[in-house]
Structure 1
């Protein structure tokens, strides 16, 4: 009887702990699933996240970079995409200089324009376009949507990832069908 009591107490304790940790377990499972299906190595995934974090920290830490700068940083296999706006060419150059020497960056595609930072409504519209493109990619046969990173800035869609040329062409064709897209920029690394 005592053994049964200890067993039940252990089970109830484990369930209680697991309930509190459910978000952690689920997030860990989702991360493991993403890693398992991504064409990048685990090291490349970690490096890309580190690049994005270090770049954001570099911009946020610089006293000259303020509200006149809206720069998004996306890294895919060491290829960095910069999008957004700065009010002057000097601020754009400064942002690029702060990011350029971060370890692990293989190349930078600087698409930051000189303009007033976009309004929240524009960014919301860009998020909507990104969601629609991702949905279109999910619904496209012979494309693994998790192989393609989609970034939208001012209705311009940037497609990144490690893909075969045919997959890249199919992704661009699917993206063209989304309302509101004004331009598509393919920044793929081709596997074939």
Structure 2
């Protein structure tokens, strides 16, 4: 399998190939990704507390604006990590795919958008359950892998594709990719990762967890 990376600090890498149908249809309502930050999250998260709050706001504002623009004709998941927004789900056509990206780019504090929306039918209940199970398996695999901090990653699954988000070292990125790639049910792995140096990681770990940025 090949992995492709952009030359920038943020990388969007693809592993494997997942087939998507080309059928055009109306889709289910919008879904928002992400979790509410707690004191515990702030303490272990590699993002600053300010970035965590921004990520929550980005997800909520993007969801609202997409709903205003597109109604219920699309099923779009918005997951933000360190002010980078990942779009997954389905839309009916290329126009809606581009529209969703432009809407999210216009949200305050968004530093970048990774548009992984498919032009296809909404997944069946069986497929949605399979994605939930797949996400759980990948997270469990990360927990079981020595040397990985699971709190450094966000895992999103969509139609058998596993999306990895986080601020991690190159070693951690490769380890997590291997875990996801070899997890039962994974058809493709997409890396939306900010690669940091070991020195930067050491600074993050030694600094106050609540420092805003």
TM-score above 0.5, yes or no? yes
Name the CA distance, whole Å, in 1 between partners of 2:72 and 2:67: 10
Q: How many residues align?
A: 162
Matched, 1:187 2:192: yes
- Alignment partner of 2:116: what SS? strand
Give the Å deviation of 1:97.
2.0
Equivalent in 130, 133, 136 of residue 131 of structure 1:
136
Name the CA distance, whole Å, in 1 between partners of 2:99 and 2:182: 37
Partner of 1:21: none
Matched, 1:44 2:43: no
Matched, 1:72 2:70: no
Task: Check conservation: 2:56, 2:80, Cα contact below 8 A.
Answer: yes
Give the Å deviation of 1:34.
1.2
Equivalent in 158, 176, 180 of residue 175 of structure 1:
180
Partner of 1:54: 61
- Alignment partner of 2:177: what SS? helix
Matched, 1:122 2:127: yes
Higher relative contact order (CA 8 A, sep 6+): 2
Name the CA distance, whole Å, in 2 between partners of 1:104 and 1:73: 14
Give the Å deviation of 1:66.
3.4
Correspondence list, 1:1-192, <5 A:
31-62=38-69, 65-192=70-197
The structure with more radius of gyration: 1
Which consecutive residues of structure 2, in runs of 5 or more, have no partner in the other structure?
1-35, 198-213
- Alignment partner of 2:77: what SS? strand
Runs of 4+ in 1 over 2 A off after TM superposition: none
Name the CA distance, whole Å, in 2 between partners of 1:140 and 1:86: 36
Task: Give the structure with the higher percent helix.
Answer: 1
Which consecutive residues of structure 1, in runs of 5 or more, have no partner in the other structure?
1-27
Partner of 2:14: none
